[in-house]
Amino acid sequence: MNLFVLGATGHTGTHIVDIALSRSHNVTAFVRSPQKIAQRDPRLKIVKGDPLSVQQLAKEIAGHDAVLSALGVRPPQAFRPHSVVGECAASTVAAMTQTGVKRIVLVSAAVLFPEKGISFAFFRWLLKHISRDLETAEGIVRSTPFEWTIVRPPRLTNSTDAKFRIVRDALPPKGSVASFRAVAAFMVDVVEQRSHFRELVGLAR
């Protein structure tokens, strides 16, 4: 398959590229800073571009089977008002509409689930700006006629353990953590298996 990856230099995105290549997929990594990608593979195409540019995205997305978006905002900007992921979701959807690509998998966050408890309330407060941005991005993607999947993991770690549990529209019971690699594996899985169309999925270890 031909996979288009946004956020390929981030924690989850790096694993998406690695897993997709290990499964013999062709990967286009659309990034602002190509020099951050050290990996080289005949099936890997690294493209420098602005994820806010519909024109640039449309040019590169054409001909791909799916878009996998692992875009996010890092501290300290993450803890300030921002709208980066939502704006990128809008440009990506516009580019997909232009090119006829119908499949998109988006990483969001478990804090958007209506879970109860002190821990969830704390993280919902701490990540309020991230949550607002991701909620906007989700809304943009969910309003399309595309074959979308949105995955909401909890706190993410650098563990190499790629095991995960999933539940539709909720976080798996006692699901407080997951690895970046597990999220990446799930994203590649659902594209390969053509599963979880138009579903919001909670994922945890």
Closest CA relative to residue 28, chosen from 48, 54, 53: 48
Q: Residue 80's pLDDT is what?
A: 82
Compute the distance between CA of residue 98 and CA of residue 13 in angstroms, rounded to an integer: 24
CA dist 173 → 14, 55, 106, 121, 164 (Å): 28, 42, 22, 17, 12
pLDDT digits (tens, 9 = 90+) for 15-31: 999 999 999 999 999 99
Give the pLDDT band (50/70/90) at residue 48: very high
pTM of the model as a whole: 0.94
What is the average pLDDT value for the chain, to the nearest integer? 94
Compute the distance between CA of residue 73 and CA of residue 172 in angstroms, rounded to an integer: 25
- For 98, phi and psi rounded to 5 degrees? -65, -35
What is the mean predicted confidence (pLDDT) over 89-108? 98
Q: Residue 146's pLDDT is what?
A: 98
Tell whether the model's pLDDT for residue 126 goes beyond 80. no
Query: Which contacts qualify for 14-23: CB closer than 8 Å, 24 or more apart?
Result: 14/180, 15/180, 15/181, 15/183, 15/184, 15/185, 16/68, 16/70, 16/184, 16/187, 16/188, 17/44, 18/184, 19/181, 19/184, 19/185, 19/188, 20/188, 23/188, 23/192
Q: Residue 127's pLDDT is what?
A: 75
Tell whether the model's pLDDT for residue 117 goes beyond 90. no
CB 1 within 8 A of CB 66: yes
What is the mean predicted confidence (pLDDT) over 39-59? 97
CB 198 within 8 A of CB 190: no
Domain boundaries, the chain: 2-204
Q: Residue 79's pLDDT is what?
A: 66
Q: Residue 60's pLDDT is what?
A: 98
Q: Residue 124's pLDDT is what?
A: 75
**What CATH architecture applies to the domain 2-204?**
3-Layer(aba) Sandwich (3.40)
Q: Residue 77's pLDDT is what?
A: 75
Give the pLDDT band (50/70/90) at residue 82: confident
What is the mean predicted confidence (pLDDT) over 184-191? 98
